[in-house]
Structure 1
Amino acid sequence: MITSLQNGYVKRWKKLKRRRGREKERAFLVEGFHLVEEALKSDWTVQEIVIREDINIQNEWQGYKYVQVTNEVFQEIADTDHPQGVAAVVEMKEMEWEGANRVLLLDSIQDPGNLGTIIRTADAAGFDAIMLGKGTVDPYNDKVIRSTQGSIFHLPVFQEELEEIIPSMRQEGTTVWATSLQGATPYMEKTIPDEPFALLVGNEGSGVQEELLQLADERVNIPMYGQAESLNVAVATGILLYAMRG
């Protein structure tokens, strides 16, 4: 059992709480029973499971490397206010883009909760892949991971230069819809494109950058029937993801 905060394992786990540390180690932490179980069920590599001293080891975890730690040590690496006492170190997965029929493109989504919810919703809507443009929050941020509720392990998430990937996708026959408040048509008035298609959604405050809007086939919006000026980006994305599925 690890009892010291100066232990090498503990120092490494603490580094994984920062983006720089995650990128250097090519690994990230997940916390809580549900996320650990989702990681173990997936084809991602779990390097080790961290278990607080008062937690019983699950039978199905016996075949994995696990490390027991004191409550003090677990509190040091935990990110939640009331940790469940289990965490896992997961190796970042190398992914190769091979094309997809239903793709979500995200331009500069900055709030971790929004990104995690969007990933979870895209998973639920049956999208095949997500591409994150520059300026988007790290998908391995602990708050993002928690908000995905395990969907981070269900569909590939790429970090790409959208100004390069969108023309390439269109050249290969993908229809790209972009959300916009200006010069856009209500999505209900458009014919849902045949697959392959992609939806481009932008930053919480400023929306999709104009240079990216110019690369899209269509600009669409969601009409506001009440007095609200707009919807939260995760809510709006969810509406459009399901609309595009038909």
Structure 2
Amino acid sequence: MEQITSTQNSKVKAANKLKKKRERDKTGQALIEGYHLIEEAMASDIQIVSLFCVEADREDAAMLEYADAVYEINLKVAELLSGTVTPQGIFAVIQQPTVQDRQPSQVLLIDRIQDPGNLGTLIRTADAAGLDMVVLEKGSADPYQDKVLRASQGSVFHLPIIQRDLHTFINDFEGPVYGTALQDAVAYQTVEQQDKFALILGNEGEGIKSELLEQTTQNLTIPIYGRAESLNVAIAGSILIYHLKG
């Protein structure tokens, strides 16, 4: 097992570059941190290209065996790779899975949601509710960004997540499409559960693009009983996903 003690090591520098979306897109790889996320990647048959451990002899033998290559690093290197104030001491460079195009029955459509916590939470909810797919419009947060990965708690690895033009996707989708907007909307409780549906959630500040709202079967609202102006998009989305699932 190779030991790495310098932050200038080429493998460390290559891993650190994966914090940038441009590098993730170019290589098809991503950097993940922490035992739980790495364990979830393994359970989903995600390829682990490199595993970096502060204390390799204390790590799970199956995890070390699973990785293509294992490196023992010091705390200085761990601090460089970490996306948090307190490094967890174990990191992996993974190969992002290739998603096969298919016809989903229940799908979450994301129109430019940019907060990584919101996107990660929605992916986690979509996974928990058993949806078939999450589709991201260009301009949405990257699902392999560190904060999205942490908020999703590994759900990024559990269901297909693709980037597509939502206008085209909706045109090809054979089922009702629900939006979240005030115009021409009904209270969500009046809509029955569906075996097949798509739900669009929009940008935190601007909502769903008007041209996408023109394609919806029905727009839904969630009543506000208190003095809050609105609900957080991840909370609203979670309520609607579970309602439509029934």
Question: SS in structure 2 opposite 1:74?
Answer: helix
1:233 matched residue in structure 2 = 233
Does structure 2 retain, via aligned residues, the 8 Å contact 1:117–1:147? yes
Query: What runs of 5+ residues in structure 2 fail to find an aligned partner?
Result: none
**Offset of residue 140 of structure 1:** 0.9
What letter matches 1:188 in structure 2?
Q
Deviation per CA, 1:203-245, whole angstroms, max 9, x where unpaired? 1111111100001111111011111121000000000010001
1:80 matched residue in structure 2 = 84
1:32 matched residue in structure 2 = 34
What letter matches 1:127 in structure 2?
L
**Offset of residue 57 of structure 1:** 2.3
Question: SS in structure 2 opposite 1:116?
Answer: helix
Question: SS in structure 2 opposite 1:17?
Answer: coil
What letter matches 2:178 in structure 1?
W
**Offset of residue 181 of structure 1:** 2.2
Alignment of 1:77-226 (within 5 A): 77-169=81-173, 173-193=174-194, 195-226=195-226
Deviation per CA, 1:54-96, whole angstroms, max 9, x where unpaired? 7612122231321111111111111111111011111011112
CA RMSD of aligned residues (A): 1.2
Task: Select 1:20's aligned residue among 16, 19, 22.
Answer: 22
Query: What runs of 5+ residues in structure 1 fail to find an aligned partner?
Result: none
Does structure 2 retain, via aligned residues, the 8 Å contact 1:55–1:85? no
Does structure 1 retain, via aligned residues, the 8 Å contact 2:56–2:72? no
Does structure 2 retain, via aligned residues, the 8 Å contact 1:53–1:71? no
In 1, the alpha carbon distance for the partners of 2:171 and 2:214 equals 10
What letter matches 1:19 in structure 2?
K
**Offset of residue 12 of structure 1:** 0.2
In 2, the alpha carbon distance for the partners of 1:196 and 1:18 equals 36
Deviates more, 1:81-90 or 1:53-62: 53-62
Does structure 1 retain, via aligned residues, the 8 Å contact 2:192–2:244? no
Question: SS in structure 1 opposite 2:37?
Answer: helix
Say how many residue pairs are matched. Answer: 242
In 1, the alpha carbon distance for the partners of 2:186 and 2:74 equals 57
What letter matches 2:74 in structure 1?
T
Task: Select 1:58's aligned residue among 60, 67, 73.
Answer: 60
1:245 matched residue in structure 2 = 245
